[in-house]
Structure 1
Amino acid sequence: MATMEECRSALKKLSDNLAGAEGDVRSAAALDRSLSCHIRDLDITFTGRLEGGRIEVADTLEGPPREKAQIRLAMTGDDLVAMVDGELNFAKAWASGRVRLEAGFRDLLRLRTLL
């Protein structure tokens, strides 16, 4: 089971990957939205913003998200680490229910290029 620090490190690596992306991926990540990532097996939530193509984690809270972020993710810590390391395909994990992504319709259309 991934630790809280491994999950935080995976989010930082994901942020770095998004910041270095080009083309459609870069434009899809260039949103300014509140973001939460609930790690179900650790029962913690990272909160922050997707801004300027980067994920900025502002806080780590115990339990599920307290406020409804504009983009909401939920998964296990192992799945987060595996996705960022390229060992788990996001689209397949999302389709199978291993990863939950919730956002407004327009944001989902824009984020689909990340899949």
Structure 2
Amino acid sequence: MATITECREALTRLSENLARAEGEVRGAAALERTLSCHVTDLDTTFTGRLAAGRIEVDGTVPGAPREKAQIRLRMTGDDLVSMVDGRLNFAKAWASGRVGLEAGVRDLLRLRSLL
């Protein structure tokens, strides 16, 4: 099972990947939105923002997110690490319910290029 430190490192790597992205992916990552990632097996939520093409993690809170972020992710720590490492396909994991993504319709349409 991935640790909180490994999950934070995975989010940092994902942020770096988004910052280097080009084309449609860069445009989708350029959203300015609040963001939460609930790591279900650790029952911990990372909170922050998607801003200027990067993920800025502000902190962690125990349990499910206390406030509703504009973009909400839900998955296990192992799935988070596997996705960032390229071993788990986000679109397939999302379609099967293994990974949760909630956002407004417009945001989902923009984020589809990240999937």
Q: TM-score, normalised by structure 1?
A: 1.00
1:100-115 paired onto structure 2 within 5 Å: 100-115=100-115
Structure 2 unaligned residues grouped into runs of 5+: none
Counterpart residue number, 1:89: 89
Over residues 32-88 of structure 1, what are the superposed CA-to-partner deviations in whole Å (9 max), with x where a residue is unaligned? 000000000000000000000000000100000000000000000000000000000
Counterpart residue number, 1:14: 14
Distance 1:70 1:14 in 2: 18
Counterpart residue number, 2:51: 51
Distance 1:53 1:93 in 2: 23
Counterpart residue number, 1:24: 24
Structure 1 unaligned residues grouped into runs of 5+: none
| Identity %, equivalent residues | 77
Distance 1:91 1:2 in 2: 21
Distance 1:11 1:25 in 2: 17
RMSD: 0.3
Distance 2:3 2:43 in 1: 11
Distance 2:109 2:22 in 1: 18
Q: How many residues align?
A: 115
Q: TM-score, normalised by structure 2?
A: 1.00
Equivalent residue of 1:73, what SS? strand
